[in-house]
Chains A and B, each alone.
Chain A
Amino acid sequence: MTACSRRSFVSGMGALILMTGTTMKSAAQSPTEKQPIRYAMLHDESACIGCTACMDACRETNQVPQGVSRLEIIRSKPYGEFPDVKYEFFRHSCQHCTNAPCVAVCPTGASYIDAATGIVDVNKDLCVGCQYCIAVCPYRVRFIHPVYKSADKCNFCRDTNLAKGKQPACVEACPTKALTFGDTNDPHSAISLKLKEKQVYRTKVELGTDPNLYHVPARPGEIRR
């Protein structure tokens, strides 16, 4: 008994080529199909003056209790000789990873990526507080909300400012316009343009998280982090 005769092999391969061929063609025919929104943020460290207005705005808008924070501006040690001393400022907040470890490890699905916007968010009612996401986050931006007892972090003001059609609170509050927020899937958005024009970096990309928080380095030379 021949399990695979030449005849059936040839016809089978023909069918395979035909099928794979058509799918390729149909995908190529509709390149302009609209992609979903992929929100990202850019922190321009060369423009940031470390005033922390963003931190206060975040706390107020999202009613983040004292003792925890969704956003922190970390001040570096002083660089240079007196009187020419400079500090550098680093934004520490959720990176809204495309391949988010916190979402992958969540046992109940409380941590999720909103398919419409790419925002990583937490369903506080489904969260049991196992803290697996807090432990797994390489960026250390998650915490237990003291009131809700669920995991919490920046969600780009998804349920506050964004829901009202405004920019995230930190972006609105920044006096030096160091923050840019927008859709990286839209090639004409402000953030897409800036990402093309400026030299930017992301942190811990080697972990495969594909973060969506970009930074413009504070100065030329090697990036300190």
Chain B
Amino acid sequence: MNSPFHFPSLVWDGPIAVYLFLLGISAGATMLAVLLKRSGLAGERPEENNVLRCNAWLAPVSIILGLLLLIFHLTKPWTFWYLMFNYHHTSIMSMGVMLFQVYMLFLILWLAVIFKFWVLNLVKRFIPKLTDFAEKTIDFIAKFTGPIEIITLILSVALGAYTGFLLSALVSYPMLNNPVLPALFLASGTSSGIAALIVCTLLFTKESTHSASIAFLHKFELPVVLIEAFLLFAFFVGLYLGGGQKTVAFQTALLGGFWANVFWIGVVGIGIVLPLLLNAVAKDSLKHRKGFMLLVAVLGLVGVLCLRYFVLYAGQMTLA
């Protein structure tokens, strides 16, 4: 019964780790897309910007996939809608359900304004009677583009931190019940969002690797990874110095065993050190190669997925 994926104190398993990963991508990608649009680099016609076009798919698809995983992880999946009609202010999960809905609403509003013509074409094809109404509605919403962008940005930050708060409420697990966790998940979620946007943009569009938008995303990569590395360090120093079961959790997680390997090889090696090293030694001409950029981004994504698995599983190994 005792294996890395099955042990008595384990409650939340694999699908939850993937859910945390997908949510981080959605939040991080939207955060960067809003910043890109507001920086003015997307130009007068943001609907033609490849990064924004990719985010229009990536952000909603990843959050919906994540939520589907979550719903089918419930022991009673078909009662998921109870969560939307019974709120409980002391529960982080309940606040998260509220946050999802507001986030999705603002994401859709923001995307509808940017991709107005695309939306109107769809409406025209399927429900022609509503075309006028849809156009007027979107034009009305467009008057509030500024506030909508700011609110979407704030909500994406909140969503990125939310998964950390969700786990940090677990008083039973000293490693998860940690104030650094939300900040760590926000930082790693942001870096996974950047990486996912780069991968999608380079794979599915003809965006040049020298474009201003890609350069904008790239500019954030290094600082975010460094912040993530520092937060990871602070997270474990806090555990090490915490005494009692916190120190036990530190030893259990990092000093040997399957999940320690996932951490040192996956999170630290593949996710942080290798991308930093590649960027440090590569010549400028190589750095702008599509293959190289894809490789670095995929390494980052693998590292963040490993971090989610590691934190979730190793976090549940030690009890208070």
Contact = CB atoms under 8 A, between A and B. Distances in A.
Contact of B88 (A109, A127, A144): A109
Nearest to B11: A135
Contacts of B316: 135
B83 A128 contact: yes
A190 interface: no
A128 B80 contact: yes
Interface stretch (B120-128, B135-143, B166-174): B166-174
B86 interface: yes
A106 B9 contact: no
Contacts of B76: 127-129, 149-150
A162 interface: no
Contacts of A108: 82-83, 86, 88, 94
Nearest to A101: B171
B82 A105 contact: no
A137 B82 contact: no
A109 B36 CA distance: 41
Interface in A134-163: 134-138, 140, 144, 149-150
A128 B9 CA distance: 21
A107 B12 contact: no
Interface in A81-133: 101, 103-109, 126-132
Contacts of B93: 105, 107, 130, 132
Given A128-B80, A129-B74, A130-B74, A105 B9 contact: no
A109 B171 contact: no
Nearest to B94: A107
Given A105-B90, A108-B83, A134 B11 contact: yes
Interface string B65-100: 000000001111001101100111011111001000
Contacts, number: 80
Contacts of A132: 91, 93
A207 interface: yes
Nearest to A204: B320
Nearest to A130: B74
Interface residues of B, number: 28
B203 interface: no
B319 interface: yes
A149 B74 CA distance: 9
Contact of A128 (B11, B79, B88): B79
Given A105-B91, A107-B94, A138-B320, A149 B75 contact: yes
Contacts of A105: 90-93, 169-170
A107 B83 contact: yes
Contacts of B83: 107-108, 128, 130
Contacts of B87: 107
Given A126-B82, A128-B79, A149-B76, A135 B92 contact: no
A138 B172 CA distance: 4
Given A136-B169, A144-B75, A107 B80 contact: no
A109 B79 CA distance: 14
A134 B73 CA distance: 14
Contacts of B75: 128-129, 131, 144, 149-150
B82 A135 contact: no
Given A127-B76, A130-B74, A138-B319, A107 B97 contact: yes
B41 to A, nearest CB: 40
A136 B319 contact: no
Contacts of A104: 90-91, 169
Contacts of A107: 83, 86-88, 91, 93-94, 97
Interface in B35-82: 73-76, 79-80, 82
Contact of B91 (A106, A129, A137, A204): A106
Nearest to A105: B91
A174 B90 CA distance: 38
Nearest to B88: A109
Contact of B171 (A103, A129, A207): A207
Contacts of B82: 108, 126, 128
Contacts of A144: 75
Nearest to A132: B93
A185 to B, nearest CB: 24
19 contacts: A101-B171, A105-B169, A107-B83, A107-B93, A107-B94, A126-B82, A126-B86, A127-B76, A128-B80, A129-B79, A136-B170, A138-B171, A138-B320, A140-B9, A149-B76, A150-B75, A150-B76, A204-B320, A207-B171
Interface of A: 101, 103-109, 126-132, 134-138, 140, 144, 149-150, 204, 207, 209
Given A129-B79, A140-B172, A207-B171, 7 more contacts: A105-B92, A107-B87, A131-B11, A135-B173, A138-B319, A149-B75, A204-B320
Question: When A and B form their complex, which 5 residue pairs have the shortest distance between CB atoms, in order from nearest?
Answer: A129-B75, A107-B94, A135-B11, A107-B93, A108-B86
